[in-house]
Structure 1
């Protein structure tokens, strides 16, 4: 990428986009464009086309999406598929029409088949049934990856895609109604500690295995791919390491300093039993993660406490 190029980070205030902005600036990329949802509605085709025409964008990091955990995916499947599909169509087509030099589309490992062989290789996409609890989101994100592939194949557009694993860190969503497992557990244990509760409830039986990547590592990998990769196939971004939800809960309990018990509610769904990425391709390209799980959780918890303190000061 050209250091003077105009870079649009879609979703620049979210967990993923804000980390990409931090990483870009640390590497000397300062010509960055970010628009809030109020400033630019990515579901509005006319507004998106006007934006690309006027802003003369050179590079795009497509990190905007409607996201949420199991509960949100179950409650709002129509919104998840519609909003994500229409945003992808609008941005990718505009990037093509207005001659963007390069675009990176971010998928998610939750869109791989539910029972994919482990660890999950890139070629396992579309080889089996999806996890029902996030099927609407998965179908939309798969369409985005495929759009990038076919625009590249037909028009030679330099559109690439990546598949990040479970992410966490600064600017994560800690709302217990629609957050993912890591921020939900951090908040649950923190609030239980503050209220002197005697136990924390965890959905499922604690056996599912998950991989977690600190979001600033993910951002570094994304910028690395934009600088070094031009292939048609998406690239997994992860650690290649996994932990059970039960062990994750115990680790967060220790870091937060909660002294009560953990209650596993087996009446609630587990989700996909195991989800570990094969990161051989990423390693062969020359990139590996640097933030370990315990270090990352400590960083995420420190950020959460700082945000909570700021919120209390504003009341």
Structure 2
């Protein structure tokens, strides 16, 4: 490994990938390889293999993924499982074939069983049924973890996996239905404020609890994990599996989140709950103690992170169509 390795960030225009690029730049990484979807279709095996053969990166951050909230997962299950499986398989296999020794795969806390004991630790993987509303996406992410594990076992690679909790922040998708809960709420409350709407309906009962992590904190965790020594990594993960959780450490109810987003936006109308809509898992709090023991910790409280996210929304997404 060179002093300034050649690093490929797959998905650099997405919320997580762009945050990883910011984190790497702040730490002095000088040789980044970046490709947009128009330049490189990661679902195209031949194109991905050709890219890796030409560029020969030394490290890969696999942040490219098709993501969305409950509505998107329910509406496009085939696209979620197909796109994510193809991207993961193509990138991980091409990395192996071209001698990439270190790769970081970004998964999701939805890999854990719907009713896993809270907070969920890494050993809960594959111990029970998944949440039905996002099962295809979760199965794809589990396959990515197991692919990294299998290549490590058979080929001696150093492919690591991190499981973030719910992320939000600059570069998010602010579609009111297809996005995750924080950006969807942010757009709805912003548009309700602008229109003078007397109330805003939030999906579900408001009782499920969720943990939220600011995306730049996740990016710093990703770089931290990539740079851990092999001995530190192996001492804090299950043998050969290479999986660590990344979370904030506390959660809030969806109702509490809605009021926090309304305060951030400055919306003063009534908040109602559409109980005909699905809630998803009753609670999703992850145990990040293994990563905390390795020297990383989150920096951004929820209220501060929401303010930063709203500033980004106002600067880049306010005028964009909700599509």
Q: For the superposition of Structure 1 and Structure 2, which TM-score range results when normalised by the shorter chain?
A: over 0.9
The answer to whether the 8 A contact 1:211-1:275 is kept is yes
Q: In structure 2, what is the Cα distance between the partners aligned to 1:105 and 1:225?
A: 11
Match of 1:306 among 303, 308, 315: 315
Match of 2:271 among 257, 262, 266: 262
* Unpaired segments ≥5 residues, structure 2: 235-240
TM-score (norm 1): 0.97
| TM-superposed deviation, 1:212 | 0.2
How many residues end up aligned between the 2 structures? 312
The answer to whether the 8 A contact 2:105-2:159 is kept is yes
| TM-superposed deviation, 1:3 | 4.5
| TM-superposed deviation, 1:86 | 1.1
Residue in structure 2 matched with residue 171 of structure 1 by the alignment: 171
Q: In structure 2, what is the Cα distance between the partners aligned to 1:138 and 1:101?
A: 26
The answer to whether the 8 A contact 1:59-1:102 is kept is yes
C-alpha RMSD of matched pairs (Å): 1.3
Q: In structure 2, what is the Cα distance between the partners aligned to 1:45 and 1:34?
A: 17
Q: In structure 1, what is the Cα distance between the partners aligned to 2:222 and 2:282?
A: 27
Q: In structure 2, what is the Cα distance between the partners aligned to 1:307 and 1:218?
A: 21
The answer to whether the 8 A contact 2:174-2:317 is kept is no
Query: Secondary structure, in 3 states, of the residue corresponding to 1:60?
Result: strand
Q: In structure 1, what is the Cα distance between the partners aligned to 2:83 and 2:313?
A: 28
1:249 aligns with 2:238: no
Deviations 1:13-72 (A, max 9, x none): 000000000000000002111111111011111000000000011100000011111111
Query: Secondary structure, in 3 states, of the residue corresponding to 1:176?
Result: coil
The answer to whether the 8 A contact 2:40-2:47 is kept is yes
Query: Secondary structure, in 3 states, of the residue corresponding to 2:280?
Result: coil
| TM-superposed deviation, 1:101 | 2.3
| TM-superposed deviation, 1:2 | 4.3
| TM-superposed deviation, 1:235 | 0.4
The answer to whether the 8 A contact 2:9-2:34 is kept is yes
Q: In structure 2, what is the Cα distance between the partners aligned to 1:102 and 1:73?
A: 30
Residue in structure 2 matched with residue 215 of structure 1 by the alignment: 215
Q: In structure 2, what is the Cα distance between the partners aligned to 1:214 and 1:273?
A: 22
